[in-house]
Structure 1
Amino acid sequence: MQNYKNLKVDLSNCDTEPIHIIGRIQPHGFLLILDHATLQVEQVSSNISEFLDVTQEELIGKKLELFCSGEGYLLLEKQLRNAVKLNPQLLLVQGKLFFGFIHETNGKLVLECEPSSPSADQQRLENTFLFSNFQSELDTTDELEGQAQLLVNHVQQVLNYDRVMLYVFDEEWNGEVIAERKKTGVHSYLHHHFPATDIPAPARDLLQKKHVRQIPDVEAEAVDIVPYINATTAAPTNIILSELRNPSEIHLEYLKNMGVSATLSFSIMVRGKLWGLITCHNLSPVFIDYWKRQLCYLIAKAFSNAVMAGHEKRDIGTLEHYKQIEEQLIQQMSSSDEVVQGLFYGKHTLLDITEGAAAAVFIHNKLTRSEFAPEECQVMEIIDWLVANSNNRVFSTRQLSKVMPGAVAFQDKASGLLALEISRYNKEYILYFKPEIRETRIWAGNPEKPERGADKILHPRKSFQNWEEVIKGKSLPWTMNELEITEILLKDITTILLRNQAQQLNQLNLELKVNAEDLRTKNSRLEDFTNIITHNLRSPLRNIRGLHKLYMAEPTQDVAAEVMARISGMADNLSATIDDLNLILKATIEKPLPQGDVPIESIIETEKQNLQDEILQSNAKFVTDLSLKTLSIPKVYLESILHNLISNALKYKSNKRQPLITIKAWQDEQNSFLSVSDNGLGMDLEKVGARLFMLYKTFHHNKNSKGLGLYLTKMQIEGLGGHISVESEPDKGTTFLITLPNVQ
């Protein structure tokens, strides 16, 4: 059978080949698949009888006691149960010594055995010496080139393979041989490149999980696992971590085309990622025992650590330099009015923290570009593409035209792109650009010409002769340092922008509070005006009614003339008041109330006219003492205040005596004073207390009392920064004193 039932693999589908369910193994060992709980055999390799005195038919459905009973079985069971802690293990079965490789998969135990011969102490000493010597030399070699050559030299010495190469992956999983040790007459692949398709994704995934992989003979006939479908799971068993699993048929064909008969590979893992491979080729079949494989694996791990240490040593120095510049950039931005100014026009620019040749920033709907950047329309085209296609806050590529076809037009300036997303919604980005480089790359054969055979199936290439290609549309790659420092920059810029936005929001909140307070003040004033209109106009209207009654009682021509003259004067006063209120209303909506020097005596006379009917009926007498002639106050407020206080003095007059109303005005260095006194009913202030100026509170029985005048007066005076006080005694009268700060 082939590796799979009902599946033919060629170059068209090898990148999705399910190598974990290959149903065959290599013939240099045998395989058993056991129930984890009972150790009952469920599948077995068909070559079991070549290693043990038992057939596959006898084993399936039985426990291992069939060929290993008594104390031998108890020891084997203990070793299988302990496999997680110790793997591989030396197993003694039917008097034969095997290396037992054991792993668990989906509730099954996969047991693989390859014959083991006792290792001489001398060989172990030599292996220890070789590793110690390699480690010592590695510790004294700083450059990667020297370390790589040291690696292949030692591995070739241990294995005696015809060719040992160090094969390193690039960011697109193409490979390059950067070091090689070979025997005389063997073809060299040093500095040759191999396409990513040579080691497709499933194979790379396997190399990350299983770091040692041996094929002793590419021509060896594979051994079936029977049955292929596990009866308890109704599916092939996952043997991805198998030591003996048969290779992909495509890979075997590839090796044959290279003229290779045996291979051994060791994964180089750096920071948890597949960095490269030690690839060993032999032109004739050869089996390498576990001890030598393990020695080379330890050498590979030591080299991996050296690579990582070298990277970290170089990275830390460069990264620290970048960090210092980035901190200064942030300081520049913090002290600048705009973020862009701090990024482009200070001692340092954002280009100083990468090897990029140009940069652009689009923020607050404004694009800023450095020299050598693509044109404005091209930069915006890139941003539009990022918004539509990239979900990562940091996006990088060294071949932009591969993912964005339109970028071919400006690949001379922007083959490489590193994009930092500030706000995808607002299309705000920081962009770094690297120009196209022209690179001549030597491939081991044409990587783009797979061959279709007579069976009409795509096969691996047969030629591995030198094939030169001029690489276009690519830039130098973005380093880990560049990616890391720009991520830091993005976070810091985002922090600054958020801080600025927070400050702007705080300022807006303050302005909103001021505006809200202003609106409350204006609303209060509008309410005052409503009350002023209602209150101030009620008395003139009441006087007009009184004059009308006077005329109706004595409808003579003389009385009519007198009434009409008085009404005319009141109407003029009402009209003037309404005009003033309209002007004040318009001003209130837009700005504070206008203040000016208002003549006090003129306002008193106006209010006496408005209250003339009540004055005539009460025969009230007025006395004025105005050493202060004017007040700096809104005219409408002074009218309202005097109107309320005079009308109250008339309203709460005493029937025992002629009403006397005294109005005084004076000032000192700090304040201006206005008082209105009467000899009316007076009040018991101990009883009235703080309620005197409360809304709708009255303290004498009077049909015209509304409890509004004093409330309005107090609110208006306090609105001007002043205050009002009162002195009063029952049946003696009341004095209201208004204190207003002088206008500086």
Structure 2
Amino acid sequence: MTSSTPQVNPTFDLSSCEQEPIRTPGSIQPHGFVLALDATGRVVQASDNLVQHLGKPPAAVLGGTLADAIGAPAAAALQPELQDERVRERPSFAATIRLSEKDHCCFDVLAHRYDTLLMLEFEAMTRAGAADFRHLYPLVGDFLQQLNDSDTIEQMSRTAADEIRTVTGFGRVLVYKFDEEGHGHVLAESNDGSLPSYLGQRFPASDIPKQARELYAANRIRLISDANYTPARLVPPVNPLTGAPNDLSFAALRSVSPIHLQYMRNMGTLASMSVSLMVKGRLWGLISCHNAAACHIPFDKRTACEQLGQILALRITSREDADELQFRLEVRRVMVSVLAGLTQGADFIENMGSVFPELLQFARAGGAAVAVDDRILRYGDTPDESQVRALIGWLDQHTHGDLYHTDRLVEHYLPAGAFLHCASGLLAMPISRIHKHYLLWFRPEFVHTVDWAGNPHAKEAPPDAPRQLSPRTSFATWRETIHGRSAPWHPGEIEMALEFRTALLGIALERAEQMAELAEELGRANKELEAFSYSVSHDLRAPLRHIVGFSDLLLEAAGNDTLDKRQRFLKNIKESARLAGKLVDDLLSFSQMGRASLRPVRVNMNELVRSCVDKLTLDTQGRHVQWHVGDLPEIVADPTFIQLALYNLLSNAVKFTSQRDPAIIRVDGRRDGTETVFDVSDNGVGFNMDYVHKLFGVFQRLHRMEDFQGTGIGLANVRRIVERHGGRVSATSSGGHGATFTFTIPNTLPSA
């Protein structure tokens, strides 16, 4: 292993870290060597430090076999481990070999296939025997047990940092998480005191360029044994099979950026190792290990650390999912409470005002406002009404999505500087696409300090200096006070707010449908009222006119007419008064049908029909009427209402068969799926089916009153009674050959 004199903060002639070829550096770290084989097993590339490790230059092995390069015994020991199915794109342990009996130095050999080559990496080891992975299993078991006893991600991270420092012997182990902006926040630290503590501090996102983060996500572990190393170049410098620079993304010995090496030296660390924490497919954070002196960690210990990192990532996933679920359940519970309150009254904005406390709890806000047309209701700590109106005007012009949210409103809307104390954060929900209807939540300013490991805003060179890149030199704690921001909006809050908006629109749509249905119902009721008023005035006028007319005749003929004539006048007066009284009684009955509550019980329909027939005895005296009543099934219904409907149907049958001898009236019933069907048939005069749609309306008659007397309300009562039970009523006839009236009663009545 070679080491050069430490360099002190050089500058690097690079235009940007993003262009640095970190995947194809063309070199490796010198604590090992590399041999690259083609498909035939020939060595086609080697690192230029073979002289130090094998005592021969690269030219001596290129084109030869593996046995030619490392000796037949070592090659024979390796060969069984290099089968195609065993070697993949990520390095795996192949064997620990000794190149000669006299040589006491062993090499751990790692193998992987990538970039069309079989890459063999030989890492020099000081131990005498092969790598021993047996300690990995109890280590993992103990670690899992300790994680199970941890409640928070910080506690789990602290446990992981302690375990990995024990395994590696590094002086400081950090566990840090990347925030939404890419800054690293140190959650846990295990430190032996040889290096400064960074616990709780932040590292700016610029410390790890985008392409480096992508590489961290692809290759989960990376070791730098000595930041002062001199790279060993590959010979030839490009992949001989592709003609392009070798992609060493998964090589354990891959050389790293000279900028990063200087970064390490500036930090006072000569050895480092990082383990990627992947949570749900994204780079959540890193376990970052540092040591003040050069230090090599063998593959078996690196494997143990990688396993611990994977276990920690899984537990972080589980903990975050559980916390997220609990958070969403709580927000949803509040949302359900709010929605329940919004359905209590007809005035939307007043309803919204009644649930303001729950709205604040829903969004963890300090204030809220609802704007509908020119009305604005505010609750809690909010901007004044004029400021809210101006903000809504800005939102209407500049935001067009289903939701707008920011934790730094003043950066987007400069007038917000006047009310930072109550509205540094804003969650705005448009309720209408056409009108300025908004629901707004405000979060107050959250003034807080952030401790950075060095000033992230410091300039390394004046603005007019040539564009060169060098890593920052200071990692001393630099405290920044953050103004003009609120607590950030949680992704779960945003999703729940979108769901809340959908529910609000659903309530508004339901209200609109109810209003439309009510308008339609009112229109229908107005038409029925007009017809009702006309019929009442017409039908009541006739008997009343008769009463007045015959009374006048009686007065004019007082003492002059015969007794028979006066009796005829009095009879007509009595009959007209009776008809008017019956009309009023039927109207009252029809009105009661819509208001009275049903009292359903089990009803014997055969007994009900017999009682109706008995009541009709007076109307059938002197007539030949044949009653045919089948075996009727029982139903569950209000017996009083059903008896009235049956009586009306049977009375109609008796009336309209008055010209038949014999009159034949049938009553039948049957079960039909979920309902019971009843038919009342007669052989009377029937009716014209062209007017069947009028049959069940109030005061609708299809025959002249002179031929068949009646008020025209009976069948309307039948329909109302049947429909109150959730059933249907219909009628069929062929004029002059009788009629059949059918009504159904559900086997299970609808709820009231």
What TM-score, normalized to structure 2? 0.60
Aligned-partner Cα distance in 2 for 1:592–1:57: 116
Q: Say whether residues 1:88 and 2:99 are aligned partners.
A: no
Aligned to 1:282: 291
Alignment equivalent of 2:26, drawn from 23, 26, 50: 23
Q: CA deviation at 1:196?
A: 1.6
The answer on whether the counterparts of 2:178 and 2:285 sit within 8 Å (CA) in structure 1 is yes
The answer on whether the counterparts of 1:723 and 1:740 sit within 8 Å (CA) in structure 2 is no
When residues 427 and 197 of structure 1 are mapped into structure 2, their CA distance, relative to the original with a 3 A threshold, is farther
1:210-241 alpha-carbon deviations (Å, 9 max, x no partner) = 22111112221223345555566565454433
Alignment equivalent of 2:475, drawn from 430, 449, 464: 464
Aligned to 1:722: 701
Q: CA deviation at 1:460?
A: 2.1
Aligned to 1:99: 109
Q: CA deviation at 1:443?
A: 2.1
The answer on whether the counterparts of 1:417 and 1:433 sit within 8 Å (CA) in structure 2 is yes
Which one-letter code corresponds to 2:110 in the other structure?
A: G
Aligned-partner Cα distance in 2 for 1:231–1:452: 41
The answer on whether the counterparts of 1:723 and 1:739 sit within 8 Å (CA) in structure 2 is no
When residues 191 and 12 of structure 1 are mapped into structure 2, their CA distance, relative to the original with a 3 A threshold, is farther
Aligned-partner Cα distance in 1 for 2:436–2:117: 53
When residues 719 and 743 of structure 1 are mapped into structure 2, their CA distance, relative to the original with a 3 A threshold, is closer
The answer on whether the counterparts of 2:356 and 2:368 sit within 8 Å (CA) in structure 1 is no
When residues 402 and 208 of structure 1 are mapped into structure 2, their CA distance, relative to the original with a 3 A threshold, is farther
Q: What secondary structure sits across from 1:176 in the alignment? A: strand
Aligned-partner Cα distance in 2 for 1:393–1:414: 20
Please, what is the CA RMSD of the aligned residues? 5.2
Q: What secondary structure sits across from 2:472 in the alignment? A: coil
Which protein shows a greater Rg?
1
Alignment equivalent of 1:494, drawn from 496, 502, 505: 502
Q: What secondary structure sits across from 1:326 in the alignment? A: helix
Q: Say whether residues 1:173 and 2:177 are aligned partners.
A: no
Aligned to 2:166: 157
Q: CA deviation at 1:293?
A: 1.7
The answer on whether the counterparts of 1:334 and 1:496 sit within 8 Å (CA) in structure 2 is no
Q: What secondary structure sits across from 1:349 in the alignment? A: helix
Higher alpha-carbon deviation: 294-303 or 463-472: 294-303
Aligned-partner Cα distance in 1 for 2:358–2:320: 26
When residues 45 and 405 of structure 1 are mapped into structure 2, their CA distance, relative to the original with a 3 A threshold, is farther
When residues 720 and 142 of structure 1 are mapped into structure 2, their CA distance, relative to the original with a 3 A threshold, is closer
Aligned-partner Cα distance in 1 for 2:134–2:82: 32
Q: Which runs of 5+ in 2 are unaligned?
A: 1-10, 100-105, 543-568, 581-650, 653-684, 715-752
The answer on whether the counterparts of 1:99 and 1:115 sit within 8 Å (CA) in structure 2 is no
When residues 333 and 51 of structure 1 are mapped into structure 2, their CA distance, relative to the original with a 3 A threshold, is farther
Q: Say whether residues 1:207 and 2:216 are aligned partners.
A: yes
Q: CA deviation at 1:451?
A: 0.6
Q: CA deviation at 1:195?
A: 1.5
Q: What secondary structure sits across from 1:19 in the alignment? A: coil
Q: What secondary structure sits across from 1:20 in the alignment? A: coil
Which one-letter code corresponds to 1:497 in the other structure?
A: L
Q: How does 1:391-402 map to 2 (within 5 A)?
A: 393=402, 396-402=405-411
Aligned-partner Cα distance in 2 for 1:338–1:59: 88
When residues 343 and 145 of structure 1 are mapped into structure 2, their CA distance, relative to the original with a 3 A threshold, is same
Alignment equivalent of 1:356, drawn from 358, 365, 373: 365
Aligned-partner Cα distance in 1 for 2:111–2:427: 46
Q: CA deviation at 1:289?
A: 0.9
Aligned to 1:578: none
Q: CA deviation at 1:462?
A: 1.5
Aligned-partner Cα distance in 2 for 1:125–1:599: 109
Aligned-partner Cα distance in 2 for 1:302–1:81: 26
Higher alpha-carbon deviation: 406-415 or 46-55: 46-55
Q: CA deviation at 1:143?
A: 5.0
Q: Say whether residues 1:435 and 2:435 are aligned partners.
A: no
Aligned-partner Cα distance in 2 for 1:592–1:599: 10
Q: What secondary structure sits across from 2:195 in the alignment? A: coil
Aligned to 1:223: 232
Q: CA deviation at 1:438?
A: 1.9
Alignment equivalent of 2:512, drawn from 496, 504, 507: 504
Q: CA deviation at 1:197?
A: 1.1
1:43-69 alpha-carbon deviations (Å, 9 max, x no partner) = 654445655687655777888687588
When residues 405 and 265 of structure 1 are mapped into structure 2, their CA distance, relative to the original with a 3 A threshold, is farther
Which one-letter code corresponds to 1:250 in the other structure?
A: I
Q: What secondary structure sits across from 1:325 in the alignment? A: helix
The answer on whether the counterparts of 1:266 and 1:297 sit within 8 Å (CA) in structure 2 is yes
1:548-591 alpha-carbon deviations (Å, 9 max, x no partner) = xxxxxxxxxxxxxxxxxxxxxxxxxxxxxxxxxxxxxxx99xx9
1:458-505 alpha-carbon deviations (Å, 9 max, x no partner) = 4222122232221112223334xxx32552353255135225415634
Q: Which runs of 5+ in 1 are unaligned?
A: 1-7, 522-586, 601-625, 633-668, 671-688, 695-710, 727-735
- Pairs aligned (count): 562
Aligned-partner Cα distance in 2 for 1:451–1:366: 55
The answer on whether the counterparts of 2:35 and 2:47 sit within 8 Å (CA) in structure 1 is yes
Q: CA deviation at 1:88?
A: 0.9
When residues 336 and 275 of structure 1 are mapped into structure 2, their CA distance, relative to the original with a 3 A threshold, is farther
The answer on whether the counterparts of 2:194 and 2:292 sit within 8 Å (CA) in structure 1 is no
Aligned to 1:75: 80
Aligned to 1:188: 197
Q: What secondary structure sits across from 1:298 in the alignment? A: helix
Which one-letter code corresponds to 1:220 in the other structure?
A: Y
What TM-score, normalized to structure 1? 0.61
1:348-403 alpha-carbon deviations (Å, 9 max, x no partner) = 51112343222334567865432212345555666666677778756554333445
Which one-letter code corresponds to 1:465 in the other structure?
A: A
Q: CA deviation at 1:82?
A: 2.1
When residues 132 and 73 of structure 1 are mapped into structure 2, their CA distance, relative to the original with a 3 A threshold, is closer
The answer on whether the counterparts of 1:394 and 1:420 sit within 8 Å (CA) in structure 2 is yes
The answer on whether the counterparts of 2:324 and 2:492 sit within 8 Å (CA) in structure 1 is no
Aligned to 1:484: 492
The answer on whether the counterparts of 2:25 and 2:255 sit within 8 Å (CA) in structure 1 is yes
Higher alpha-carbon deviation: 113-122 or 468-477: 113-122
Q: Percent of pairs identical after alignment?
A: 28
Aligned-partner Cα distance in 2 for 1:130–1:598: 100
